[in-house]
Amino acid sequence: MENLQVMKSDMLNEVSSVQNMKAWDELRVALLGKKGKITEMLKALSALPLEEKIARGKELNVLKSDIEKALEDKRNQLAEAELNAKLQAEKIDVTLPVRPENQGRIHPVSKIYEEIVAIFGQMGFEVAEGPDIEDQFHNFNALNMPANHPARQMQDTFYIPNPKSADFDDSFVVRTHTSPVQIRTMENKKPPIRIIAPGRTYRSDYDATHTPMFHQVEGLVIDKNITFAHLKGCLYDFVKAFFELDDVPVRYRPSYFPFTEPSAEMDIGCLKSKSELKIGAGTDWLEILGCGMVHPKVLQAGGIDPNEYQGFAFGVGIDRLAMLKYGIPDLRTFFESDVRWLKHYGFNPLDFSSMTGGLSNNGGAAR
Ligand code: DAH
């Protein structure tokens, strides 16, 4: 019968000389597989007389477990070497500049967000947020739009059933505007309040200038002795900064929103021709936002005493601003995820918007 000691040292030599996982696996099969050398020897035991069977069986078991252990160690060693080789080969130097052809672009909506935050941030506004899925209290009731109020029909609302209640008034909505953030802010913060709330909004609408999901920025200022003059000054400064122009003619048209009284729409002066829209000059007007003095009922709904505090609010469509400022004709293309579109209309991620360093870094309305 073969000398197990000699055989073992041969096997261990074989194990240690294995260079890769493929050879390792072949060796494992050759030794321990169904027809492997050790397996065959174990099978041969049954032919031996009892005494011998016991003695040799013990020896073989020791051999088997030693070889198994050696194979296991070898496998770990090979795996580690393989990982190190991979890490070495895939090493990247994060300090290298980005290759221009691989650089991503900032979506115009994100760019406008950044610009608006930079402008209002410098005026001392904070950014506030609210949920996309709202209850009807925050989206409507608290904004002076009780159930059956005709103004609810102004917005084509997507309703979401409430699993806990069959009552339609308890159903949720995907917020139709960013105005509910006004209420959520008042609930959580004492005046003075000075916030903007950019975010997604949803209405059932679809054409070249409407998409079911779009973006708005809400603004809210509440303090003692706030007047319509503060609203006018603030929004005038905003449009000048936003369109990067020294002056922009503005006018306020009386309007109606349930949550403001008085309410107005702000227009900016422009020149419309067949091929071009020039902001800041000319005899035409373009509506850009809704605004007004916060209705006393809205202050009350937010837990603020209207006899002590007043406020103004405004709401702007971000996508529309992006279309105007960057000359993008169709809103639907914003959300088609076409990389060619993003390459054309997108922005360099390293051009941060700031009031001192420049907003759009490409001349804004002049583009
Ligand atoms: N929430 C209005 C809308 O989506 C926009 C708006 C108008 C917001 C006037 C305001 C405001 O805060 O004062 O049509």
Predicted confidence (pLDDT) at residue 93 exceeds the cutoff of 90: no
Question: For 219-231, how does the pLDDT look when each residue is reduced to its tens digit (9 = 90+)?
Answer: 999 999 999 999 9
Which of 64 and 151 is assigned the larger pLDDT? 64
Give the number of the atom of ligand 1 that is nearest the alpha carbon of residue 143: 1
Domain range for residue 23? 2-89
Q: Is residue 139, in this structure, part of any structural domain at all?
A: yes
Q: Which two tokens stand for residue 106?
A: 């900032």
The two beta strands, 126-127 and 193-202, are parallel
Do 333 and 231 sit in the same domain of this protein? yes
Please tell me the predicted confidence (pLDDT) of residue 363. Answer: 45
Amino acid at position 297, single letter: K
- For 217, the token pair is 């920025």
| 124 plus 52 within the same structural domain | no
- Residues 6+ positions from 268 with CB-CB distance below 8 Å: 239, 243, 248, 249, 250, 279, 280, 285, 286, 288
* Binding-site residues, ligand 1, Cβ < 6 A: 177, 179, 218, 257, 260, 290-292, 313-315
Number of domains the chain is built from: 2
Query: Is there a domain that residue 114 lies in?
Result: yes
Average pLDDT value for the chain:
92
pLDDT in tens, 290-307: 999 999 999 999 999 999
Residues 188 and 250 grouped into a single domain: yes
Closest alpha carbon to 310 in 186, 193, 222: 222
Query: What is the spatial distance between Cα 295 and Cα 293, in angstroms, rounded to a whole number?
Result: 6
pTM of the model: 0.74
CATH number of the domain that 192 lies in?
Answer: 3.30.930.10
Residue 1 pLDDT: 60
Q: How many Å lie between the centroid of ligand 1 and the Cα of residue 342?
A: 29
Length, in residues, of the chain: 367
C-beta of residue 353 within 8 angstroms of C-beta of residue 359: yes
222 has which bridge partners?
193, 311
| Residue 131 shares a structural domain with residue 78 | no
In terms of pLDDT, which residue wins out, 331 or 124?
Answer: 124
